[in-house]
Amino acid sequence: MKHPYLILAIILMITLLLIFDRLELRTRRMRDRAEQGEASDGMLPKDKVPNDKLIVAEGMHEDLIKRIIRDFCGWHNREMLQVIPVVTRITDQQFAITFPYDVSFDIFCSFINYLNYPKGYNRRFYAMGWTTTRLTDLWMTAESAGKQVLLFVPDADREYDHVFMTTVDQMGYQLGFSTEMALLLEHPARPYCTPPFTTGDLAGRDTVAVSFSET
């Protein structure tokens, strides 16, 4: 071959151009998302959003809950940050999860379900959630919106693809992830109970550093 160094130089130049092109595309996407107010690659939104969403998870140690949350958030935050949880240690086996930037009701319900049945584990754990519903939330109607609710997975559940909801006035619903309609139950699967603490009660307590982004 007469010009081996020339061929190598051309290959190197093409490789560098491809790398620079990918870096430019990544930078442009990050800039566009920032201009639109979207969170990307660990950038937090500008403002916190007042809300009362709370999850209490039990039966798992700190390293385990960190792995479970990392897996869930890694899936939902691939394109933009939708889930930004703050984990507060209550005991060695009990943790409170709050959402200072809020989170959509359907992802909140999915999070509760996943904490009960995390992928890759041969046992279930226990997590329940509390919030005040809005009419714009998935599954909500005029009858169920604007109420404090308890969200949970019953011990006898064997379907793994829904959560149950009980309102403060003891109306029971089944919320299926494959449908936009809530199933009204004749009797709630579990009576409503108030949370053991509120989001305000957690101020100043030890938090657990968790990863909520793939990067």
27 with 61, same domain: the answer is no
**What pLDDT sits at residue 2?**
53
pLDDT above 70 covers what percent of the chain? 80
Report whether pLDDT(38) > 50. no
81 with 18, same domain: the answer is no
118 with 201, same domain: the answer is yes
91 with 160, same domain: the answer is yes
In a domain, 41, yes or no: no
pTM: 0.78
Give 22's DSSP letter.
Answer: H
Give me the chain's average pLDDT, please. Answer: 85
Average pLDDT (159-163) is 90
**What pLDDT sits at residue 102?**
97
In a domain, 133, yes or no: yes
> Which range among 17-21, 101-105, 129-133, 202-206 shows the weakest confidence by mean pLDDT?
17-21
24 with 70, same domain: the answer is no
**Edge-to-edge strands, sheet with 148-152:** 182-184, 172-176, 162-167, 148-152, 126-132, 54-58, 94-98, 86-91, 207-208
Measured CA to CA, the distance from residue 133 to residue 167 in angstroms comes to 9
3 with 86, same domain: the answer is no
Domain count, the chain: 2
pLDDT in tens, 90-141: 999 999 999 999 999 999 999 999 999 998 888 889 999 999 999 999 999 9
CA–CA distance from 162 to each of 102, 114, 118, 178 (Å)? 21, 10, 14, 8
**What pLDDT sits at residue 213?**
65
Give 15's DSSP letter.
Answer: H
Report whether pLDDT(152) > 50. yes
Measured CA to CA, the distance from residue 11 to residue 5 in angstroms comes to 10
Give the residue from 74, 113, 79 showing the smallest Cα distance to 210.
74
28 with 86, same domain: the answer is no
pLDDT in tens, 105-116: 999 999 999 999
Give 202's DSSP letter.
Answer: G
**What pLDDT sits at residue 125?**
93
- 3-state SS assignment for residue 125: coil
- 3-state SS assignment for residue 55: strand
Q: 169: domain range?
A: 54-208
100 with 130, same domain: the answer is yes
Band (43; pLDDT cuts 50, 70, 90):
confident
Q: How many CB atoms lie within 10 A of CB 188?
A: 16
**What pLDDT sits at residue 149?**
99
30 with 59, same domain: the answer is no
> Which range among 11-25, 112-126, 150-164, 188-202 shows the weakest confidence by mean pLDDT?
11-25
Measured CA to CA, the distance from residue 202 to residue 198 in angstroms comes to 7
